[in-house]
Chain A
Amino acid sequence: MQDVAIVGVGQSRFSRNCEMTIKELVFEAYKEAMDGLNMTNADIGASILCSSLYDNQRSAESPVAEYLGLNPQPTFLIENACAASSTGLRVAWSLIRSGLYRIVAVIGLEKMSGQTSREAAEMMGRAYDVTWESSFGLTMPGGYAIHARAHMAKYGTTEEQLAKVRVKNSFYSTKNPKATFKKQLGLEDILQSMPVASPLKMLDCCANADGASMMILARGDVARDIAKIPIWIAGLGSASNTGISRRTTFTSFTCAKRAAEEAYKMAGIGPDDINVAEVHDCFTIAEILAYEDLGFAERGEGPTLIEKKETYLEGRIPVNLDGGLLCKGHPIGATGGSQIRTIVQQLRGEAGEIQVKDAEIGLTHNIGGIGHYANVTVLRR
């Protein structure tokens, strides 16, 4: 059976207010993804829109496909909260492996600026069980904070260690022209920011954003013809988890651990083989949990990894060198595709200032909800 490669990646600038329509926003990502490819839009066999549709448009896949010139090819929507576009990648891989299509486009999209923070928090809050969880005023920060508090109680993790994740990611965000926030922050900035959901403060949290991402996947033989450097999908892992009341642990996302094991197994590698990673740092604690769930650190040792700067560019396993969700902003349906874009650029050797020397194998970790959905993807040059 043919392998599947990523031939094109792109993203729009992520911002608090894009001042354009969702179709125009997606086009920004499309242009970048198609740049330099030996193909036209007519070669794309199907398109998958990945979004929670925070904007007014319902069934956005039709107007988006029309704007990108992707009719009459089939198009459909994937909703999987913040994990939508990595789920889109998984589905596109399957569509190509099945023999149905040679080339599939995976579009990530969210335009969140049409809503106030409270409205978006309420809408996001309805991504949990509306009967038993939303009714208590659960929010995304609240759910992650419950996991942070449990990690602190079990392992002695400190608020300062959490803040160091943001310090790192803000440092690298200054090198990413497409990030929403491009300002280097100090430890005190984070520790003194407004409390949101204890122990998390405002700067422990990512911000809602407008943004789009695009991935173009192709069958192996086709990929070699249309792209200079195809990046191969070596491993895919995916899993889900229950709501809050039925969790067996609050110091790990069991779905992320399972997805990672699956992806490593399929790729025939382990965590030590990863040269560069993008993980789902919607909150500072989320990056610490990711270190442990992915096996970059032993249980309870995630904080040590950031303390020792092992996840900086010069460290043992560089993580979120594009600023992460914390600084890029988190347009939820677009995030998974943006993570893949960063790793593809790394593996092509086109990452500029943040390039990890001789990066051969990269990983993305994309989470939906409060650890409800997880996709781990291993890419290889």
Chain B
Amino acid sequence: MALPPNGERVATALGIYEAADDRVSLMIVVVGPRTRELAELSPGETVSLLGPLGNGFALDALGSDVALVAGGVGIASLLLPAQQLRERGARVKLYYGARTAGALVDASVFSSLGCETALATDDGTRGTRGYVTQVFEREGAAHSGIAACGPSPMLRAVGSLAARFGIRAQLSLEETFACGVGACWGCVVPLARESAQAPSFPPAAPGESRDYVHARICKEGPVFWAHELRW
């Protein structure tokens, strides 16, 4: 989470784009006043950073032929996994979509890592016309596992396709965050009760009929197995 020193007094959650030695890179896409303020910072200015927070992708559980599915700014959170998967010798294909060509960031860094790439834009100005999940639907069944980051509708579609293909998917979720450390319970997603760890999530009370709990995206996530979500 990064915050401008004098900006709106609410933090912004950002994925780490690159990390090496004592340097951390964040990819910021301007969507509102806080991200604009961050983007307008000059070299040498100071910001506060709290992190890294939450879990990450469990890459070992995805097999040797991994699909990365990215929507919009979600691309930023998939570069580190791409690097690590390639270092382990996995085959990696990136499916990456955005609204329009101007909203796609340069994905050549994935190509240079040896990842295949397939692009899609809603308006067809670059790559296949339509949603990235439509491209993935045609080609995705052959993969051994999926790591995805993007808007919720895209992640739900990826989860449904993974179930249909019979392969497992890890989804990195985003919500509005307040504390970022698991204290305020503001960012939650319904998680299958059997997947939730005690003591934060005690066993169902007598007469409790719901098969899910509200897990914190910042603490138990942001990465969840698609088949464990009840959203």
The reply to whether chain A is a binding partner of chain B is no
